[in-house]
Amino acid sequence: MAVGFIGTGSMGSMLVESLIEAQAVEQHDIVVINRTVTKSTALKDAFPKIKIAYTLKELVKRCNWLFICVKPKDMPNLFKELAPIVDTNQLAISITSPVSNADLDAALPCKSCRAIPSILNRAHSGSTLLSFGEKCGPKDQDNITQFISSISKPLHIEEQITRVSSDIVSCGPAFFSYLAQRFIEGAVNQTDITEEEATELTTSMLIGLGKLLEQEHYTLPTLQKRVCVPGGITGVGIDVLEQMVGSGFDELFKQTHKKYLDEKEKLTVEFSYK
């Protein structure tokens, strides 16, 4: 089965790399297209057997599944180009949240679903958020779920929690990487430790924390209780974090949802079928 990737930017190229390394698909069964051709050729340099398409019609003709890996603002015009050339047996797979399954079903005559990835998928870890359009039957759903399971844990979600789920799964690694970097900077600024030493220790700590949770030795609350001795040093640090963080994460989710709703409103105007 041939799989096409429309857009080979950060997430599109990550998916191609991860799926090939997981042996979910052979290189020669992948066809890519990108507005900036050099991004496609860079992928082909890494995986010589993949094919580059230079028109959408060429890619669609070759492929059964079409991963749509472009920015939401580019989707209305892309769908206008795709609609006349896809058929009902093909499957369009969007990796972005603001375009709903209903939008996909209305814009394209083919079957459609969303598979929202995480950068963690590059390590064949983390989750991918799956939801399906009405034209996507049980067999199609099983096939895409199995395909995605080669690089992640597939999670089937409902439309109303798409944004918050994406915040946690897709944006979460960037949020926590930012916090870890500030953690390192604080250690360097206030002590004699070097940035290299603090980075090594923090990275090792985060990897170990992930393993503890994965192996279910602790939950997040029980881990805190186990480490935080009343009146001890960890407790002092937790008190500082409580003062610093406060309702900060409430505001984070408030702002990401505001951005999400703004994007959906713009797309509603731009989609010709609305």
Confidence of residue 111 (pLDDT cuts 50, 70, 90): very high
Domains of the chain: 3-157 (3.40.50.720), 165-252 (1.10.3730.10)
Alpha-carbon span 226 to 222, nearest angstrom = 6
Q: Which tens digit of pLDDT belongs to each residue from 159-209?
A: 999 999 999 999 999 999 999 999 999 999 999 999 999 999 999 999 999
Alpha-carbon span 103 to 133, nearest angstrom = 9
Contact, 152 vs 127, CB < 8 A?
yes
Segment among 36-40, 77-81, 147-151 with least mean pLDDT: 36-40
pLDDT at 272: 54
Confidence of residue 264 (pLDDT cuts 50, 70, 90): confident
Confidence of residue 108 (pLDDT cuts 50, 70, 90): very high
pLDDT at 251 over 90: yes
Short-list 128, 190, 185, CA closest to 154? 128
